[in-house]
Structure 1
C-alpha cells in the first residue's frame, strides 16, 4: 500500500520539501485544488480519471486518452513504462519544475482489478525513481 502524502502535503511536494514519489492523496485535497496548486508551482499536471475502469485494457485506454500519450503508445505495461520514462510527449515550450499525474478513483480501480493496480503502481514507482534525480521530477498521486 502506498503511503499518504506526508506533511506539509501537496505544497511540500510541489516546492521540493517532500521528495517526489507515489503517494495517496489526502481526502481533503480535491482534483481542482491539486491542478491549481500544481499550475501555480510551474508543475505540469494531468488527471487520470479512473471512474468505471475495472480492467487492464480500460486502464491503459484511459491512460492513452487522459494523459494524451503519443500515437506510438502500444497499450501494454511496457509501453506505459516507456511513456512515463520518456516524457518528450508531455513537454511543451518552456521548462516545468516537475510533472504530476493525479489518478482519480484509484481505490475503486484497485478493488476492481487488484493485480493490475499493483502492476500500474509499480510502473508509476519505477518512473518516479527514474526522474527523481532530474531537474524536473515526476510525482504520482493516487486519489
Structure 2
C-alpha cells in the first residue's frame, strides 16, 4: 500500500493545493517578498501583517469548493531567526484562513515539518 501525502490526498478530492516555500526567508521583509510572488499579491500592498491579511482576501484562490490547502514549507529559518515576527506571521496566516470562512470558502493552512 502506498502512502499519499496530504497534498496528494486533498488534490485528488478536488482541492487546490498551493505550496508556500519560505526556504531562505529569515525576516518579515523576506516573508513579504515571498508571499507577494507566490500568492501574486499586488506589488504595492502595505507590507505589514494587516495589509497582508487584507490583500489575501482579494486573491483569486479558486476553486472555492470543496476547498484549498496552503502548505507552508521551509519556515524554520524564519522561526529561528525572528521568533516574534514568525509568531505574527502565523497569526496572519490564521486570520487569512478564518477570513475565507466568512465567505463560505474553505482554506486550510498547514506547516510542513520536513
- The TM-score range, normalised by the shorter chain, is 0.7 to 0.9
Judged with a 3 Å threshold, the aligned counterparts in structure 2 of structure 1 residues 34 and 72 are, in CA distance, closer, same or farther, namely: farther
Tell me how large the CA RMSD over aligned residues is: 2.4
Q: Which 5+ residue runs of structure 1 have no aligned equivalent?
A: 1-28
Aligned to 1:136: 105
Assess if the C-alpha contact under 8 Å between 1:47 and 1:104 holds in 2. Answer: yes
Q: CA deviation at 1:84?
A: 2.7
Aligned to 1:119: 88
**Residue 24 of structure 2: SS of its match in structure 1?**
coil
Aligned to 1:102: 71
Measure, in 2, the Cα distance between the counterparts of 1:117 and 1:80. 14
Q: CA deviation at 1:104?
A: 0.3
Determine whether 1:90 maps to 2:90.
Answer: no
Assess if the C-alpha contact under 8 Å between 1:64 and 1:75 holds in 2. Answer: no
Measure, in 2, the Cα distance between the counterparts of 1:95 and 1:50. 25
Q: Which 5+ residue runs of structure 2 have no aligned equivalent?
A: none
Aligned runs of 1:6-17 on 2, under 5 Å? none
Aligned to 1:74: 46
* Shift >6 Å, 4+ stretches: none
TM-score, normalised via structure 1 length: 0.64
Which segment is superposed worse, 67-76 or 42-51?
67-76
Measure, in 1, the Cα distance between the counterparts of 2:16 and 2:33. 21
TM-score, normalised via structure 2 length: 0.78
Aligned to 1:54: 26
**Residue 132 of structure 1: SS of its match in structure 2?**
helix
